Amino acid sequence: MSEKKYAIGVDFGSESGRAVLVDVSNGQEVATAIHPYSNGVIDEKLPGTQIRLAPDWALQDPNDYLEVFKNTIPAVVKKGGIDPADVIGIGIDFTACTMLPTKKDGTPLCFLPEWRSNPHSWIKLWKHHAAQPEANKLNKTAREKGFDFLDRYGGKISSEWFFPKVWQILDEAPNVYAAADRFLEAADWVVWQLTGVETRNNTTAGYKAIWSKRQGFPPNEFFKALDPRMENVIEEKMSTDIDFIGQKAGGLTDEAAQWTGLKPGTAVAIANVDAHVAVPASTVTDVGSMVIIMGTSNCHMVLGKEEKVVPGMCGYVDEGILPGFFGYEAGQSCVGDHFAWFVENCVPAAYTEEAKDRGVDIHKLLEERAARLKPGESGLLALDWWNGNRSVLVDVDLTGLLIGQTLATKPEEIYRALIEATAYGTRVIVDAFEKHGVAVNEIVATGGLPDRNKLLMQIYADVTGKEVKIAASQQTPALGSAMFGAVAAGKANGGYDSIYEASKKMAHLRDERFAPRPEAQAVYNRLFKEYLVLHDYFGRGGNDVMKRLKALRAEIIES
């Protein structure tokens, strides 16, 4: 044992798990290891069978998560060249809502031979979208019966969330529903496997399972209204004991110590969500800063001291991001995905060849050319709805729009228009927060995009009028989990007594900042006005042509 203490953060993604070994004193990321899930995203056939899944299904295998622990934790300890006894805590974060049915002792139903061939016994990944009918019925019932919890979720519960998924199991496999002693988030399940202690974190409960600190879960009469068989789902299949993030779930069991090579009893934190755990890892522990995780989509998080209803956000949860704050979340469904779509479908051969000849990435080439344009120079304007609109319209049936093309329009101009469109989309969200009393004074960006695309950062600054800072870590979720691991260990064991202290020491920003440029801001203010008019015309019922085109498309494809 040395004086240096370490924490490990394990970040569970859709395709793989990642462990990062972090120096508790300064947040230095000493070693990283990634383990891809053997069964990945299960969306065609149930593994080892010929059982086909319907198009909107997406499952996972819980065993893959255990393999992540067994492979990555020994790997980072070894790579880091450290004494495993110096690892004082572990934290995990997960995609959500990713949920499964288990027996009372935590055994997943899909591990049991009698249930293994029933797809409903497996894990439903966040992007399992087959519970849309249940989500629709749930929203309708909640509205009709006057349950006010929809207000906390921008007016609508998504098919990705907890109870639509539970209800789908009941609808389609009542025997699986009956056999399940528990429904729980995979996040809590992996913590259970490490510690032997069943916990339920308040973050996924709050954002995905309609729980709130003040009101708890919806009352039984609500579930009865959905389906009489679900009346007592909370008492029968859930737990009303909710554990708050920042707490310790337990210590590593002997078995888990053996899997990981760490000391039995090593502190394990209450489970958390990938996006939320990135907030303190991006140095944000107070009101006024919006953290945006920018990847294929954008996730916006802000802390608030008071409870505010912001129409169209994804949700807010008391203590959902950090203790002592309301955690507000909003989202854009399509950001990096826009650019990936554009590169795959719209970039001419001449550009691809130039990029190849010069040995640069095609995104880099497009960014380079787009950066030479001034705001307003392209004459183009886009609505960033290729994948629907999450915040603030909450409408998956909206689609894309590009306006202003001429025969002189070049690919880099369209590329820039798409970047600008996502920035306008973020400004709509920022403005909604500010209008409803949640302060946003600056933006801290993290995720895959900020690192790669400076133009994007500058445009976000110019469009929103907020300074944009960038988190130093390129893996803020894993770093954040390690920070929560250090907090679970506590100061007495070489860690921290609060996530605030941990963030102060372990989280950092890059030196590079992007300040709004007044001249660009002036032009973007004009363009944003135009964006808003189109946003409301096509998004708020002025002309529902997007929905009609989408419905016609579905009609034609099905005919």
Structure tokens given for 325: 């704050």
Query: DSSP class of residue 532?
Result: H
Please identify which residue in 87, 166, 347, 471 interacts with a second copy, judged by CB under 8 A. 347
CA dihedral angle for residue 191, residue 31, residue 474, residue 62, rounded to 10 degrees:
-30
Q: b or e along 182-203 (b: 16 or more beta carbons within 10 Å of the residue's beta carbon)?
A: bbbbbbbbbbbbbbbbbbbbbb
Q: What is the DSSP annotation of 408-465?
A: T--HHHHHHHHHHHHHHHHHHHHHHHHHTT--EEEEEEESHHHHH-HHHHHHHHHHH-
Please identify which residue in 527, 528, 535, 539 interacts with a second copy, judged by CB under 8 A. 527
Please identify which residue in 105, 286, 353, 512 interacts with a second copy, judged by CB under 8 A. 353
Residue 550 touching a second copy (CB under 8 A) = yes
Please identify which residue in 346, 441, 513, 540 interacts with a second copy, judged by CB under 8 A. 346
Q: Which helix (H) or strand (E) holds 31?
A: strand 29-36
**With CB under 8 A as the contact rule, which of the stretches 47-55, 251-259, 322-330, 344-352 interacts with a second copy?**
344-352
Residue 37 is which amino acid? Y
CA 138 to chain centre: 23
**With CB under 8 A as the contact rule, which of the stretches 169-177, 236-244, 395-403, 436-444 interacts with a second copy?**
395-403
Q: Is the peptide bond before 314 cis (omega within 30 degrees of 0)?
A: no
Residue 379 touching a second copy (CB under 8 A) = yes
CA 435 to chain centre: 24
Residue whose structure tokens are 């554990």: 243
Q: Which is nearer to a second copy, 158 or 387 (CB)?
A: 387
Q: Which is nearer to a second copy, 348 or 437 (CB)?
A: 348
* Shortest distance (Å) from residue 554 CB to a second copy: 9
Which of 67, 89, 69 is CA-nearest to residue 23?
89
Q: b or e along 541-550 (b: 16 or more beta carbons within 10 Å of the residue's beta carbon)?
A: eeeeebeeeb
Residue whose structure tokens are 């044992």: 1
Whether 413 contacts 370, CB under 8 Å: yes
**With CB under 8 A as the contact rule, which of the stretches 154-162, 429-437, 500-508, 519-527 interacts with a second copy?**
519-527
* Shortest distance (Å) from residue 421 CB to a second copy: 11
Distance in angstroms (rounded) separating the CA atoms of residues 278 and 287: 15
Q: Which is nearer to a second copy, 203 or 389 (CB)?
A: 389
* Shortest distance (Å) from residue 400 CB to a second copy: 3
Distance in angstroms (rounded) separating the CA atoms of residues 269 and 8: 11
Q: Which is nearer to a second copy, 205 or 419 (CB)?
A: 419
Q: Is the peptide bond before 190 cis (omega within 30 degrees of 0)?
A: no
Whether 418 contacts 380, CB under 8 Å: no
Please identify which residue in 111, 149, 500, 537 interacts with a second copy, judged by CB under 8 A. 537
Residue 553 touching a second copy (CB under 8 A) = yes
Residue 522 touching a second copy (CB under 8 A) = no
Which 3 state secondary structure label does DSSP give 252?
A: coil
Structure tokens given for 514: 């992007």
Residue 150 touching a second copy (CB under 8 A) = no
* Shortest distance (Å) from residue 95 CB to a second copy: 19
Please identify which residue in 90, 142, 205, 380 interacts with a second copy, judged by CB under 8 A. 380
Please identify which residue in 254, 306, 344, 511 interacts with a second copy, judged by CB under 8 A. 344
- Distant-in-sequence contacts of 424-428, Cβ < 8 A, 24+ apart: 424/384, 424/463, 424/527, 424/528, 424/531, 424/535, 425/298, 425/332, 425/384, 425/389, 426/292, 426/298, 426/300, 426/332, 426/460, 426/463, 426/464, 427/463, 427/464, 427/528, 428/391, 428/392, 428/532, 428/535
* Shortest distance (Å) from residue 382 CB to a second copy: 9
**With CB under 8 A as the contact rule, which of the stretches 153-161, 177-185, 425-433, 530-538 interacts with a second copy?**
530-538
* Shortest distance (Å) from residue 511 CB to a second copy: 31
* Shortest distance (Å) from residue 139 CB to a second copy: 23
Q: Which is nearer to a second copy, 241 or 344 (CB)?
A: 344
* Shortest distance (Å) from residue 346 CB to a second copy: 5
* Shortest distance (Å) from residue 36 CB to a second copy: 23
Using the Cα atoms of residue 11, residue 13, residue 17 and residue 20 in order, give the sign of their dihedral.
negative
Please identify which residue in 196, 295, 311, 376 interacts with a second copy, judged by CB under 8 A. 376
Please identify which residue in 401, 459, 468, 499 interacts with a second copy, judged by CB under 8 A. 401
* Shortest distance (Å) from residue 57 CB to a second copy: 18
**With CB under 8 A as the contact rule, which of the stretches 175-183, 193-201, 267-275, 336-344 interacts with a second copy?**
336-344
Residue 393 touching a second copy (CB under 8 A) = no
Residue 177 touching a second copy (CB under 8 A) = no
Residue 352 touching a second copy (CB under 8 A) = yes
* Segment 411 to 470, residues that bind a second copy, using CB under 8 A: 411
Please identify which residue in 104, 148, 492, 556 interacts with a second copy, judged by CB under 8 A. 556
Q: Which residues pair with 315 in a beta bridge?
A: 329
Q: Which residues pair with 318 in a beta bridge?
A: 326
**With CB under 8 A as the contact rule, which of the stretches 69-77, 79-87, 107-115, 544-552 interacts with a second copy?**
544-552
Give me the residues that bind a second copy (CB under 8 A), please: 334, 337, 341, 344-349, 352-353, 374-381, 386-387, 399-407, 409-411, 523, 526-527, 530, 533-534, 537-538, 543, 545-546, 548-550, 552-553, 555-557
